[in-house]
């Protein structure tokens, strides 16, 4: 074997379903279409599958914000989150965010509820042999705050798995 200083060729393997795989009958037409759209666009936007779970997650985030603000428990957690920018400035938003994240991740039920928000969709586009990130994350984007805006990116650029799916769950009505 001769030695070469040139970089080796990389094999790029796609896990996209072949046309044959689509005909096995293991997936419904709707699941196949969702998978096709995900592969074509890189994302899908779908209805929440478990509204109760979404409500619990939103209430837990609102509860975390309430604790951090040292405020009264809100009657309407959604309204609190929708107007949080009126109570927390951009310079403090990361402190609040980290406090909420740490509180959320002490709760044993949050991973289960987070998954149930989009379980069927994730299983359609990825499959059911899954591993989940240990800690949930929270992104807070205040109106007019450009300091929190990330440019368009793919997490794989930072070393995340190319087989990862990111699930964004909306907690405010914006």
Q: Which of 102, 20, 115, 8 is nearest to 61 (CA)?
A: 102
The window from 13-21, 100-108, 141-149, 153-161 that contacts Fe ion (CB under 5 A) reads 153-161
Given the complex with Fe ion, which of 106 and 168 has the nearer CB atom?
168
Contact 104, 110 (CB under 8 A): yes
Contact 104, 88 (CB under 8 A): no
Given the complex with Fe ion, which of 41 and 70 has the nearer CB atom?
41
For residue 15 the two structure tokens come to 């896990």
Query: Shortest Cβ distance from residue 45 to Fe ion (Å)?
Result: 16
Q: Which of 68, 66, 94 is nearest to 80 (CA)?
A: 66
For residue 83 the two structure tokens come to 């107007």
The window from 41-49, 88-96, 102-110, 154-162 that contacts Fe ion (CB under 5 A) reads 154-162
Query: Shortest Cβ distance from residue 157 to Fe ion (Å)?
Result: 9
What Å distances lie between residue 91 and 51, 54, 142, 148, CA to CA?
32, 28, 11, 10
Given the complex with Fe ion, which of 69 and 165 has the nearer CB atom?
165
The window from 51-59, 63-71, 129-137, 151-159 that contacts Fe ion (CB under 5 A) reads 151-159
Q: Which of 155, 156, 163, 164 binds Fe ion (CB under 5 A)?
A: 155
Query: Shortest Cβ distance from residue 38 to Fe ion (Å)?
Result: 17
Given the complex with Fe ion, which of 95 and 155 has the nearer CB atom?
155
Given the complex with Fe ion, which of 62 and 140 has the nearer CB atom?
140
Q: Which residue is nearest to Fe ion (CB)?
A: 155
76 is a site residue for Fe ion (CB under 5 A):
no
Contact 54, 81 (CB under 8 A): no
- Any idea what DSSP says for residue 106? T
For residue 162 the two structure tokens come to 């190319």
Contacts with Fe ion, residue ranges (CB under 5 A)? 155
């Amino acid at each position: 074997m001769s030695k070469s200083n040139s970089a080796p060729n990389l094999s790029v393997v796609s896990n996209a379903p072949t046309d044959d795989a689509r005909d096995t009958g293991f997936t419904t037409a709707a699941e196949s279409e969702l998978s096709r759209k995900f592969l074509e666009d890189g994302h899908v936007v779908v209805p929440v599958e478990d509204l109760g779970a979404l409500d619990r997650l939103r209430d837990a985030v609102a509860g975390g914000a309430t604790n951090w603000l040292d405020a009264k428990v809100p009657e309407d957690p959604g309204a609190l989150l929708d107007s949080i920018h009126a109570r927390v400035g951009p310079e403090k938003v990361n402190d609040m965010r980290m406090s909420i994240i740490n509180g959320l991740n002490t709760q044993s039920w949050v991973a289960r509820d987070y998954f149930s928000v989009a379980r069927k969709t994730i299983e359609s586009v990825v499959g059911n042999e899954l591993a989940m990130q240990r800690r949930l994350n929270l992104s807070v984007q205040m109106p007019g705050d450009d300091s929190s805006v990330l440019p368009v990116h793919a997490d794989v650029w930072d070393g995340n798995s190319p087989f990862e799916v990111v699930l964004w769950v909306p907690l405010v009505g914006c």
